[in-house]
Chain A
């Protein structure tokens, strides 16, 4: 399995959860204790080691919040 890494531009996140819904590894979740400046609960990665770098989350993100890197 390739290893991936996601980084979030949190200030642009609107907490729509589309990324959470499409993640095949089910490692994204909405952190109900952290708000960004716009007042949205942001998305975090529960187990970063499990990320396979498929970029589905970034493809579905309407606000271009997510950057995905893959280890070669």
Chain B
């Protein structure tokens, strides 16, 4: 009997603190597998953000640092500039990256900082109790948009990948999802590519992962995956947004 799939060395044995069926766990696994398979575990530094993923420093089996809310890219910049030999990544949700931390993230991208950003987009603030996020869809009910988000009052959901694709310093940018095994494997390929680009000093790399929040969406985990497929992907189309060659050299 040959082992085809087992828990990766890139994760610690601590049980994840996420709700049942939350795809944070899947993305954690993918990042850890990618680092392990590329042999980068010993030299990786992750930056944990604020949000549900605030404890991710407990789960990744590499060096981790916890950033103040939204400042993960600023911290990653500092670490990468002092130790350019390390592989530096941030793991941020939509509240952290698209809301409070959008300035840090956009400027890090514009400077072409040689870091990798894993951006989890689940269209809601998970940790604080399901409030409306900048990425919440029109019509989506949250605790702060109880009649559903409206265009007149709240504006359109922000499309981070579309915005970042225009920025010169971005070397690689792809939007992926985790709603079925095929998409999960695709996401892993994208994450691996981002880390490879960072090793080749090509510039800023970002992977946006459409994720679920079953508890705050008020759905079962299976319905939540279906909702990503049917409601989120038309607004946030999957695919490659940017793939640029060498930037620094």
Q: Give residues of chain B (67-115) contacting chain A, Cβ–Cβ below 8 Å.
A: none
Are B25 and A62 in contact (CB-based, < 8 A)?
Answer: yes
By size class, the interface of chain B is 20 to 34
Report the minimum CB–CB distance from B174 to chain A (whole Å): 19
Expressed in whole angstroms, the Cα–Cα distance for A4 and B214 within the complex equals 30
**B147 interfacial contact with A, CB 8 Å:** no
A70 partner residues in chain B, CB cutoff 8 A: 1-2, 4
A22 partner residues in chain B, CB cutoff 8 A: 180-181
Best-buried of A11, A14, A40 by chain B (most CB within 10 Å): A14
Interface string of A54-72 (1 = CB under 8 A from B): 0110111111101111111
Q: Give residues of chain B (158-209) contacting chain A, Cβ–Cβ below 8 Å.
A: 180-181, 184-185
Are B3 and A67 in contact (CB-based, < 8 A)?
Answer: yes
Are A60 and B184 in contact (CB-based, < 8 A)?
Answer: yes
Q: A18-B21, A59-B184, A62-B22 are in contact. Are A69 and B3 (CB under 8 A)?
A: yes
Are A69 and B1 in contact (CB-based, < 8 A)?
Answer: yes
A60 partner residues in chain B, CB cutoff 8 A: 26, 180-181, 184
Q: A18-B221, A40-B20, A62-B24 are in contact. Are A72 and B2 (CB under 8 A)?
A: yes
Are B8 and A18 in contact (CB-based, < 8 A)?
Answer: no
Best-buried of B16, B214, B221 by chain A (most CB within 10 Å): B221
Report the minimum CB–CB distance from A61 to chain B (whole Å): 8
Q: Give residues of chain B (205-221) contacting chain A, Cβ–Cβ below 8 Å.
A: 214, 220-221
Interface string of B6-32 (1 = CB under 8 A from A): 111001000110111111111011000
Interface string of A3-36 (1 = CB under 8 A from B): 0110001011011111001100000000000000
**B225 interfacial contact with A, CB 8 Å:** yes
A38 partner residues in chain B, CB cutoff 8 A: 15
Expressed in whole angstroms, the Cα–Cα distance for A63 and B1 within the complex equals 23
Expressed in whole angstroms, the Cα–Cα distance for A12 and B225 within the complex equals 21
A55 partner residues in chain B, CB cutoff 8 A: 4-5
B220 partner residues in chain A, CB cutoff 8 A: 17
Are B20 and A15 in contact (CB-based, < 8 A)?
Answer: yes
B19 partner residues in chain A, CB cutoff 8 A: 14
Are B5 and A68 in contact (CB-based, < 8 A)?
Answer: yes
Report the minimum CB–CB distance from A56 to chain B (whole Å): 5
**B240 interfacial contact with A, CB 8 Å:** no
**B222 interfacial contact with A, CB 8 Å:** yes
Are A62 and B5 in contact (CB-based, < 8 A)?
Answer: no
In the complex, 7 of the A-B residue pairs with CB atoms within 8 angstroms, ordered by the A residue number, are A14-B21, A17-B221, A17-B222, A67-B5, A68-B4, A71-B1, A72-B2
| Extra pairs beyond A4-B4, A63-B16, A72-B2 (7, CB < 8 Å) | A11-B15, A16-B221, A53-B4, A62-B22, A67-B7, A68-B5, A69-B2
Interface residues of B (CB under 8 A from A): 1-8, 11, 15-16, 18-26, 28-29, 180-181, 184-185, 214, 220-222, 225
